Amino acid sequence: MWIQAWGENSLRIRSTKIASMPEEDWALIEQEERETEIEIGESRATITNGKIRACLAKAGKMTICDRNDKILLDEFLRNRIDDKADYCSALEIQAREHRPILGGDYSITARFESDPREKLYGMGQYQQPFLNLKGTDLELAHRNSQASVPFVLSSLGYGFLWNNPGIGRVVFGKNLTTWEAYSSKCLDYWVTAGDTPAEIEESYARVTGTVPMMPDYAMGFWQCKLRYQTQEELLSVAKEYKRRNLPISVIVIDFFHWPLQGEWKFDKDYWPDPDAMIQELKTLGIELMVSIWPTVDYRSENFQEMMERGYLIRTDRGLRIAMDYQGNTIHFDPTNPAARKYVWEKAKQNYYEKGIRIFWLDEAEPEYSVYDFDNFRYHLGSNLQIGNLYPVMYAKTFHDGMKEAGQDRILNLLRCAWAGSQRYGALVWSGDIHSSFKSLRNQFAAGLNMGLAGIPWWTTDIGGFHGGNPDDPEFRELFVRWFEYGAFCPVMRLHGFREPKQPPRGTTGGAGCVSGAANEVWSFGEEAYEICKRYLLIRERLKPYIKKLMAEAHEKGTPVIRPLFYDFPEDITAWQVEDEYLFGPDALVAPIMHEGMVSRHVYLPEGASWVNAWTSEAFAGGHLIKVDAPLDIIPVFLRDGAKLPINA
């Protein structure tokens, strides 16, 4: 067992039963050695690094405290080794368990005592409405719309990173907290102590990395749908935004613009002159983002070479097929450095050299037709043991290639992340979610917890992905409420697979894939259009403010959107609020997330004064107030005299 200082006020704890400690740092960045205080006595040993101290009893139990000896984490141990200890028990439950797997390594379990009053946040993105994760049972695995980023921030004053990329599970129970990895060589976690959530978050960012500085264009509005089928269709939409004098920063070409999966290039039948298209968009002041999938079709021109060179993931049983959507496919293996270089060179030749500077790295979990995690094997090992690294290495594939090409402000859109993804320019969106108010509420919790898990660049499909008819009055209400919320998210991106579906424009190549109905801001009726136009202009006016928020995310790892307690940790009520958030330090946003709602209660944190951004009415902090919220208004309050151009 190794306990060592790893960053300021932080410790890394590792335990293994193999012959030597594994060398991988996984999410962590190597740190300079720090001076620590180590004391070894007859019954216990302690190590102190600034504000954190670990005490290891001779009987095997470890307790982690802050500088005032307040217990932060206390291992759950029940054995008979020391009959004088309060944990002496006939249960014989170990705090650190390495259970052998026949013919393999170990299943790993770490157990801690639980304080029922503790509140827990972070852990990435799960499709559930709870901001406070105490009492939840979470799968440590990625799926479409689920991103496991295993860092948790505690109201007790610590942050905890489960530094293990294997598939597993965590239960934040009332009686104990249990972390599991189903196959691993080593138990590995990192813990930090801090006086405020911001201090904890910044310590975590220093050991796992921060996002690059966001490109200026990415702070505006992004237009997308499933899917623009031709070059002519895409350009017509871009020109219509300009004709209407509507702000637009990015327009997106979605999947199946290619001949076959694994052929990372435009299908010339439907995109005959991409060079001219890209240049025309640039003259309009619009960046083009293109979709990349990691899947390789057996029929594609690159399949045989990639298989022979070992660039594709493998299956331990059955056919070597991971997905069967629009063809039999297998994913490229980004844990293989040579495979990363191969895929980037294809993308560089067919996209980057034409002027494309931003990529949509879809299917980043990666998605499987059948989630048999134990069946897939990568260059670095079994998916069961290292599979959660996939989105990190996928982001690294393009980040490193773009950096080598001379680009510094690198941003790519991914459908998944793990700890450390942020340092490779990963903007995560919440996946193929349903178009409903219930789903909107899930995204609200997901976005805040992603930021606290160290992924400050996050967004949703405005309006949801699956469903939604632009002519349906009920969907129009949802769309408007989502659009208003999207204006105050780190990235404002409109996307969706609207009804009714549109027929394919052809039968060859990617054209065999269907498209959805119109999904532009003018597609939802005149009332919705006028509201959307209002919020597009608000987003545009807020760009200087957003740029400051992105600088904080880059420099310190500060979440762009965060719960009220992040800035007001001394306000007990702020820890209870789960339907409001701060968009940077100066704006409190209270979205409307229920159908038919035209007013709501808003809590204004103690320790600041607040002004309604729409009415200029002033309020003292520490109070719950009721505000009107007609369809065109999302409640926003400005802090301590902040002058943001919202109601200009």
SS (H, E, C) 391-421: HHHHHHHHHHHHHHCCCCCCCEEECCCCCCH
Q: Dump the DSSP string for 421-489.
A: GGGGTEEEE--S-BSSHHHHHHHHHHHHHHHHTT---EE--BT-SB---TT-HHHHHHHHHHHHHHTTS
User: In percent, how much of the chain has pLDDT > 70?
Assistant: 99
> If you average pLDDT over residues 261-269, what whole number do you get?
97
Give the pLDDT score at 83.
60
| Beta bridge partner(s), residue 161 | 151, 190
In this structure, which amino acid lies at residue 595? Answer: E
Q: Is 511 helix (H, G, I), strand (E, B) or coil?
A: helix
Q: Is 290 helix (H, G, I), strand (E, B) or coil?
A: strand
Q: Which of 8, 362, 520, 580 is catalytic?
A: 362
State the Cα–Cα distance between residues 487 and 540, nearest whole angstrom. Answer: 9
Region 383-387: mean pLDDT is: 97
CB-neighbour burial class of residue 116 (10 A; exposed 0-12, middle 13-18, buried 19+): exposed
CB 261 within 8 A of CB 327: yes
* pLDDT single digits (tens) 588-625: 999 999 999 999 999 999 999 999 999 999 999 999 99
Res 85: pLDDT: 67
- pLDDT value of position 86: 67
Per DSSP, 133 falls in state: -
3-state SS, residue 73:
strand
Q: What is the DSSP letter of 215?
A: P
Mean pLDDT of 514-530: 97
Cβ-contact 358, 289 below 8 angstroms: yes
437-488: per-residue pLDDT in tens? 999 999 999 999 999 999 999 999 999 999 999 999 999 999 999 999 999 9
* Domains present along the chain, CATH in parentheses: 2-208 (2.60.40.1760), 216-556 (3.20.20.80), 563-639 (2.60.40.1180)
Of residues 75, 263, 297, 365, which has the active-site annotation?
365
* Arithmetic mean of pLDDT, 294-314: 98
Lowest-pLDDT range of 89-98, 464-473, 566-575, 593-602? 89-98
Residue 409 has a pLDDT of: 97
pLDDT at 87: 65
- Region 230-246: mean pLDDT is 98
> According to DSSP H, which parts of 63-178 are helical?
none
Give the pLDDT confidence score for residue 546 in this predicted structure.
98
pLDDT value of residue 92: 87
Please pick, among 202, 432, 477, 540, the residue that the annotation labels catalytic.
Answer: 432
Mean pLDDT of the chain: 97
Q: Report whether pLDDT(305) > 70.
A: yes
**581-583 and 587-589 as β-strands: parallel, antiparallel, unpaired?**
antiparallel
What mean pLDDT do residues 12-20 have?
Answer: 97
Q: Can you tell me the mean pLDDT for 100-111?
A: 94
Q: What is the mean pLDDT of residues 184-211?
A: 98
Look up 362 and say whether it is catalytic.
yes
CA-CA distance, 467 to 330, in Å (whole number)?
Answer: 28
Tokens in use for 550?
A: 């992105």
Confidence of residue 32 (pLDDT cuts 50, 70, 90): very high
Is 195 assigned a catalytic role?
A: no
Dihedral angle computed from the Cα positions of residues 398, 399, 404 and 405, in that order, rounded to the nearest 10 degrees: 70
Write out pLDDT tens, residues 412-426: 999 999 999 999 999
Instruction: Please say if the pLDDT value at position 633 is more than 70.
Output: yes
Contacts of 132 (CB under 8 A, 6+ apart): 119, 120, 121, 578
Check residue 84 and give its pLDDT.
Answer: 62
- Check if 324 is active-site: no
State the pLDDT at residue 104. Answer: 86
The pLDDT value recorded for residue 72 is: 98
